[in-house]
Amino acid sequence: MDMEKVNSMGFSEFVDVFGNVIEKCPLVAAAVWSQRPFSGSEDLEKHFFDFIDALPRSGQEGILRCHPDLAGRDLQQGTLTAESLREQSQAGLTSLDADDRLRLQKLNAQYRERFGFPFVLAARLSDRAEVPQELARRLRCQPESELRTALGEVKKICHLRMADLLGADAARVEPLRG
């Protein structure tokens, strides 16, 4: 999909296409639509990131809370979004044995108890061995820095989902840097 096509989208189509680049937060796409035209994929992405950065802490925590746990209840119940299922599957989290699943669920619960929001990690950039290690490491971080880390992961997830939607066409319209 090229940027000309993106810039020509009406509101409903834009929200349909980009509504889940931030998990279960179509409001972000709804707000970004009014910023068009976009000069390229980086510009489009920057509007999503700027919106998140400008939110008060309660809004940023709200975005984190829209994310399903990794290897959690939504996966067991088959209620993940298509994007999240694909990401968790790529990281090998859909084929954990019962012990590993329980271990991750306990760590997820400890994390939520400590920080008040779920552990968020770009699963496609990780794997089933790394996820619990990273979770255990981040459990020891300070709340302020952990909020920033978690939002950084939301942005990585957004970047990858956007790249899936835009493909190479959008990259081609980016200005060359010399």
Ligand X SMILES: NC(=O)N[C@H]1NC(=O)NC1=O
Tell me if 52 sits within 8 A of 151, measured CB to CB.
Answer: yes
Residue 84 sits in the site that holds ligand X (CB under 6 A): yes
Q: Which of 44, 69, 128, 138 binds ligand X (CB under 6 A)?
A: 69
Rg of the chain, C-alpha, whole Å: 17
- The nearest distance, CB 132 to ligand X, in angstroms, is 13
Tell me if 5 sits within 8 A of 40, measured CB to CB.
Answer: no
DSSP 19-57: TTSSTT-HHHHHHHHTTPPPSSHHHHHHHHHHHHHHS-H
Q: Which of 87, 93, 132, 146 binds ligand X (CB under 6 A)?
A: 87
- The nearest distance, CB 156 to ligand X, in angstroms, is 8
Angle between helices 26-33 and 41-54 (to 10 degrees): 120
Closer Cβ to ligand X, 124 or 138, answer by number: 124
Residue 122 sits in the site that holds ligand X (CB under 6 A): yes
Catalytic residue of the set 32, 41, 64, 67? 67
Residues in the chain: 178
* Residue 159 bears catalytic tag: no
Contact region with ligand X (CB under 6 A), list: 10-18, 54-62, 64-72, 136-144: 64-72
The catalytic residue positions are: 67
